Structure 1
Amino acid sequence: MTPREPPAWQTVETPARNTLYGVTVFGSGAVAVGESGVVFGRPNGEGWQPIIEHGPAGNSRTLAAVAATGEGARVWFAGESGAVGTYDVAGAVKRDFSNVDGIDADWQAVAVTGAANEETVYLATDEGAVLRLSIVDRSLEVGEFVRPPTLATGLAGLEALDDGRLVVLSRGGRLFVTEDREQWTTVQFQPDEFVDVAAQSAAGNQKSATSGDVGADGEAITAIRAPGEGYRYADGDSFSFPFGQPTLTAVSAAVGRTVAVGTGGGVYRRAPDGWVTVTTDNDRTLRDVAAVPAGDEGGARDVAVGAAGTILERGGIPDGTADWSEPPGGDDEEGGSIY
């Protein structure tokens, strides 16, 4: 049985009522997305508040995933029927890129690398097809779809590493890693019910693995199965580890720590000798989690989101340096495009 530790995660009162499917945390706050296109923000340590109510196109398409640029200046989100949008923290600038190039796919995952206006964005469908978007000279460039050659059971998770590699996990437990999106390294885990992946490159990554578990070159990948089992892949080797009896839904990591969530308000923290079940004050299903490295004062910041607008936090969101209400410089206007 996974050991328990005293309460650390607390439910936060918010205006959110719809199920939330994705969350990202960055230097000046956090953003969560979900059912009917809702986007909630938590700026500069203030309370959670709606920043978009009906999706980027205003048609209430559910948003499934969210990710921020490296410095947290811009947030990308994506979801059903081709919904894609961005939110710039400074100036609250919202942009709609839904159905880019006429694509109306149901996006299940999004990953972002690089700083705003130089970022690379990956959007993935439930079938595991991945579309690459790039910002070059303040213009949006749309690449071609790529798909791991033997992915046959649907997408479980997607990660984009800061060194340029792409990590794709299938629900059937097949892990794919590529540098050029043509040649793929493949690892086969237990062949069913995988739900998410978190990875770290030697160059570092926002979703990094527990420092004690990374390989000699600083790389590690953590994959989880819904029935309560995880896999660690590093230095070309993999091993499994049990969580006990939970039903898992998502995993995230930060330097020195890894966190998974699941049904019944379940939160699970990686410890040196295994996994610890964290006591929470909520019993609703959690759909996503964002773990963030400890700050200069040593405090870790984590956020989990889920059913009926549930938001749990550990450590709170500290004051940031960006003013979410201050208009940006230059010629940018709300609702316009800089690309």
Structure 2
Amino acid sequence: MTRLTRRSTLQFAGASLVAATVPAAASASEDGWTAVETPIDSTLHDVAYTATNAHAVAEGGTVLERTDAGWEVVLQGGPTGNGNDLYGVDVTDDGERLWIVGASGAIGEYDVTTGNLVDRSAPNDYTANFNDIAVTGPAGDADVYVADDSGSIHYSFQNGEEGTWEYVVPGSGSGLKAIEFFGDRAGHAIDTNGRVYATDDTVEETSTSSQPSSTADDGVTWNPIGIEDADSTFYGLDSDAADDVTVSGGNASIFEYDGSQWVPESLGDADLFDVETGGDEGYTVGSGGVIFELDGGEWTLNQTPVGENLTALADGPTAIAVGSSGTVLER
């Protein structure tokens, strides 16, 4: 199942390699989901496809890669080497850089083609917990957005270089759980106070030059777009367009936005920690090994072979869900 977003291209950049990968030590599957062995027993917090393979980040600053031989540790200790937990990942448009964020201001830029890691941590000496990251543009020339526990979005339009970071607080200061972009400087963020924020800034062309003319407000103007009376803690975000947004949360809540209104749906009582959709297909994952599949616009419960909490997913040539105790499910 393929996400019909800007990430589709990078997901399939390594499709032939990824699709051929058959990790060792897989358990019996249920509804097509197979539990795959990993070399760690700590919580995996996020996962993404890159130009080479899928990568996942975990507690202790660990980064795993899905290889022909199975999941392997490729980084330990995180960007700073201090072992800060890693919570979020995103990938440049060409898939060559995996950006990672985590506790105590950890930010790293990892070259998946060479294995080189650049430490971008503590922008402007800020060391809050960074929960999620969104990057747009190619390797070496990316716009970077980081969401933190204090309600701030830190951003750099110069590939996270030192001295190029600024920040904005889009809401009341409630922690921001997730951030995702569907365009160069267009995307969404969610906080812990039941709010969703949108930005859709553009870089205007000047009349005397073919080069874009940026202003201080480009890409950093955030406006609330709901959700009123949600009565649910938000965890997961899928931003596919200005009028195509999905949020997942507590009490198995799903909220879908069509550009004018939010449509809520309850799938049960599990907390849903991540969601990815493309058209009328997709998945959401959550507590107790729960996976719901969206097919033809209808959500149905998949049977899975695990009971651990599932924290994140990546939908590509192989759908991957990750979670606590080093859990990885593949379909």
Q: TM-score, normalised by structure 2?
A: 0.80
Q: For 2:297 and 2:226, locate their aligned partners in 1 and report how far apart those are by CA, in whole Å.
A: 25
Tell me whether 1:12 sits opposite 2:42 in the alignment: no
Is the 1:248–1:262 Cα contact (8 Å) retained in structure 2? yes
Following the alignment from structure 1 to structure 2, what is the Cα–Cα distance between the partners of residues 229 and 311? 23
Question: Greater relative contact order (Cα 8 A, min sep 6): structure 1 or 2?
Answer: 1
| 1:291/1:246 CA distance change after superposition, 3 Å | same
Amino acid at match of 1:157: A
Contact in 2 for aligned 1:172/1:191 (Cα 8 Å): no
Amino acid of the structure 2 residue aligned with 1:117: G
Mind listing any 5+ residue stretches in structure 2 that lack a counterpart?
1-28, 202-218
Counterpart check, 1:184 vs 2:223: yes
Output the aligned Cα RMSD: 2.1
Identify which range, 121-130 or 172-181, moves more after superposition. 172-181
Any idea what SS the aligned residue of 2:70 has? coil
* Unaligned runs of at least 5 residues, structure 1: 203-218, 293-299, 315-339
Shift of 1:20: 0.8
* 2:87 matches 1:56: no
Aligned counterpart in structure 2 of residue 281 of structure 1, from 271, 293, 305: 305
Paired AA for residue 223 in structure 2 = W
* Match in the other structure for 2:327: 310
1-structure distance, mates of 2:274, 2:189 = 14
Q: SS at 1:188's partner residue?
A: coil
Equivalent pair of 2:137/2:184 in contact (CA under 8 Å) = no
Task: Write the distance in 1 (CA, Å) between the matches of 2:186 and 2:226.
Answer: 15
SS class of match (1:161): strand
Contact 1:73/1:88 (8 A) holds in 2? yes
Check conservation: 2:308, 2:327, Cα contact below 8 A: yes
So what's the TM-score if we normalise by structure 1? 0.78
The alpha carbon displacement at 1:123 in A equals: 0.8
1:146 matched residue in structure 2: 168
Q: Determine the C-alpha separation between the residues in 1 that align with 2:324 and 2:189.
A: 26
Distance 2:161 2:173 in 1: 34
Secondary structure of 2:315's match? Answer: strand
Q: Does residue 274 of structure 2 align to residue 201 of structure 1?
A: no
| Aligned-partner Cα distance in 1 for 2:73–2:319 | 20
Match of 2:181 among 153, 157, 160: 160
Specify the code of the residue in structure 2 equivalent to 1:176.
Y
1:95 paired residue number: 118
What residue number does 2:109 align with?
Answer: 86
> What do the CA deviations read for 1:99-153 (whole angstroms, capped 9, x no partner)?
23322121011111111112111111112200012336x95662311111x3354
CA deviation profile, 1:162-215 (whole Å, cap 9, x unmatched): 14123111222211112242352432241431112111127xxxxxxxxxxxxx
**Cα shift at 1:244:** 2.5
Does the alignment pair 1:128 with 2:151?
yes
Per-residue CA deviation, residues 18-71 of structure 1 (Å, 9 max, x unaligned), is 11111112342111111111111124x442110111112111111111111112
What does the per-residue CA deviation read over 1:291-321, in whole Å, with 9 as the maximum and x for residues that have no partner?
Answer: 23xxxxxxx421111111111111xxxxxxx
- State the distance in 2 between where 1:140 and 1:63 align: 21
User: What residue in structure 2 maps to residue 40 of structure 1?
Assistant: 64
Quote the Cα distance in structure 2 between the aligned partners of 1:224 and 1:276. 15
Runs of 4+ in 1 over 6 A off after TM superposition: none
Secondary structure in 2 aligned to 1:22? strand
What is the DSSP-based 3-state SS (H/G/I as helix, E as strand, rest coil) of the residue aligned with 1:48?
Answer: strand
The number of equivalent residue pairs is: 284
Q: Which residue of 1 aligns with 2:11?
A: none
Identity of aligned residues (%): 29
